[in-house]
């Protein structure tokens, strides 16, 4: 599985710092790490709608110190969950959007994040969630090891978010690009495999950005939590959102979004096609 193609599919004006994607029936739902709204892009007419996630006069380009930092987007039971990264005390909320009614529910997950840090022994300076997957009786969260601890790993939260029955943590050794270890930026479940994105960013901070050295796509076995495939797809872009688009016997297609770490209100949605031969 070494052949791939990567192309720009949509150039969207009106969204900055895209961090998460979900595709369904011709619509692309997009999370932004410095916005308090969920974007819905309609591919047929290129229109863009906004779903406010909380009451505020400022819902876009929120200053870094106070932004909710929605970095993990996951669908479960017809609802989209936008999780804060947990990298600071004000980034511990989840906003839940019903895709049918567009109604929004908001919860504080500070208690859960504390339990996750305890289970993994990851300190507050290194804790940074960048991907989530919801299944029938569990949640998987992907810890981005871009802090000085280099803690890449997967949390498995069994039970509810507010009162989990059990939390397991699986450290994951990700490949390097040049001299820098890649770190998780998103993940999804397709069939019985976890597909992930990871980026090499030359920084030892979960808060400050660094030079981007490239991104990889990879696959993790659902049962063992071991990497079974990875491949570099760019040497300059920081891809942070991943969603399933289509599949045939010979290839699988994903949509990706790029976080360019600027205040500019433009985002690219890319199509990544991987050969399954």
* Residue 157 resides in a domain: yes
* Residue 135 resides in a domain: yes
**Percentage of the chain exceeding pLDDT 90:** 81
Over residues 94-101, the mean pLDDT reads 97
Write down the pLDDT at residue 98. Answer: 98
Question: Of 111-115, 208-212, 255-259, 268-272, which gets the smallest average pLDDT?
Answer: 208-212
How many whole angstroms separate alpha carbon 265 and alpha carbon 121? Answer: 37
Q: Is the pLDDT of residue 118 over 90?
A: yes
Write down the pLDDT at residue 146. Answer: 87
Over residues 205-234, the mean pLDDT reads 87
Q: Is the pLDDT of residue 208 over 70?
A: no
In sequence order, which residues have a C-beta less than 8 Å from that of residue 237 and are 6 or more positions away?
Answer: 212, 214, 215, 258
Does residue 134 sit in helix, strand or coil? Answer: strand
> What is the overall mean pLDDT for the chain?
93
- pTM over 0.85? The answer is yes
Number of structural domains (the chain) is 1
φ, ψ for residue 121 (rounded to 5)? Answer: 60, 30
185: tokens are: 């930026």
Burial class (CB in 10 A: 0-12, 13-18, 19+), 181: middle
Helical H segments across the chain, by residue range: 110-120
Write down the pLDDT at residue 204. Answer: 63
* Residue 264 resides in a domain: no
Question: Higher pLDDT residue, 127 or 203?
Answer: 127
CATH code where residue 109 lies: 2.120.10.100
* Residue 21 resides in a domain: yes
Name the pairing type of β-strands 37-42 and 176-177.
unpaired
> Which domain does 142 fall in, by range?
16-246
Question: Among candidates 49, 22, 54, 48, which has minimal Cα distance to 35?
Answer: 54
- Binning pLDDT at 50, 70 and 90, where does residue 3 land? confident
How many whole angstroms separate alpha carbon 187 and alpha carbon 19? Answer: 12
Write down the pLDDT at residue 205. Answer: 59
Over residues 1-19, the mean pLDDT reads 88
φ, ψ for residue 233 (rounded to 5)? Answer: -115, -10
How many whole angstroms separate alpha carbon 198 and alpha carbon 186? Answer: 7
Write down the pLDDT at residue 263. Answer: 66
| pLDDT tens per residue across span 43-70 | 999 999 999 999 988 899 999 999 999 9
Write down the pLDDT at residue 117. Answer: 97
Write down the pLDDT at residue 254. Answer: 98
* Residue 189 resides in a domain: yes
Over residues 1-17, the mean pLDDT reads 88
Is the dihedral angle over the CA atoms 206, 214, 181, 143 positive or is it negative? positive
* Residue 259 resides in a domain: no
Write down the pLDDT at residue 58. Answer: 87
* Residue 4 resides in a domain: no
Name the pairing type of β-strands 47-52 and 153-159.
unpaired
* Residue 257 resides in a domain: no
- Binning pLDDT at 50, 70 and 90, where does residue 243 land? very high
Question: Among candidates 94, 177, 100, which has minimal Cα distance to 134?
Answer: 94
* DSSP secondary structure string for all residues of 176-244: EETTEE-EEEEEEEETTEEEEEEEEEE-S-SSS--EEEEEEEEEEETTT--EEEEEEEESS--EEEEEE
Distances (CA, A) of 145 to 176, 186, 235: 12, 12, 19
């Amino acid at each position: 599985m070494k052949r791939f193609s990567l192309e720009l599919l949509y150039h969207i004006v009106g969204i900055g710092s895209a961090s998460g994607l979900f595709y369904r029936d011709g619509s692309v739902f997009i999370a932004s790490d410095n916005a308090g709204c969920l974007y819905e892009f309609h591919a047929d007419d290129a229109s863009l709608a906004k779903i406010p996630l909380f009451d505020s006069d400022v819902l876009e380009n929120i200053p870094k110190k106070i932004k909710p930092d929605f970095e993990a987007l996951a669908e479960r039971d017809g609802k989209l969950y936008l999780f804060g990264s947990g990298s600071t005390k004000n980034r511990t909320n989840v906003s839940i959007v019903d895709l049918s009614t567009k109604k929004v529910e908001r919860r504080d997950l500070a208690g859960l994040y504390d339990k996750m840090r305890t289970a993994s022994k990851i300190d507050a300076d290194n804790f940074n969630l960048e991907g989530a997957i919801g299944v029938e009786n569990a949640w998987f969260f992907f810890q981005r090891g871009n802090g000085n601890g280099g803690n890449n790993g997967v949390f498995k939260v069994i039970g509810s978010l507010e009162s989990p029955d059990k939390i397991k943590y699986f450290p994951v050794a990700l490949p390097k690009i040049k001299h820098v270890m890649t770190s998780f930026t998103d993940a999804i479940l397709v069939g019985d495999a976890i597909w992930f994105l990871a980026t090499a960013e030359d920084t030892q901070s979960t808060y400050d950005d660094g030079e981007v050295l490239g991104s990889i796509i990879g696959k993790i076995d659902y049962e063992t939590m071991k990497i079974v495939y990875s491949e570099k797809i760019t040497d300059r872009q920081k891809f942070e959102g991943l969603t399933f688009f289509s599949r045939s016997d010979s290839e699988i297609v994903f949509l990706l979004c790029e976080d360019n770490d600027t205040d500019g209100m433009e985002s690219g949605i890319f199509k990544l096609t991987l050969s399954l031969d």
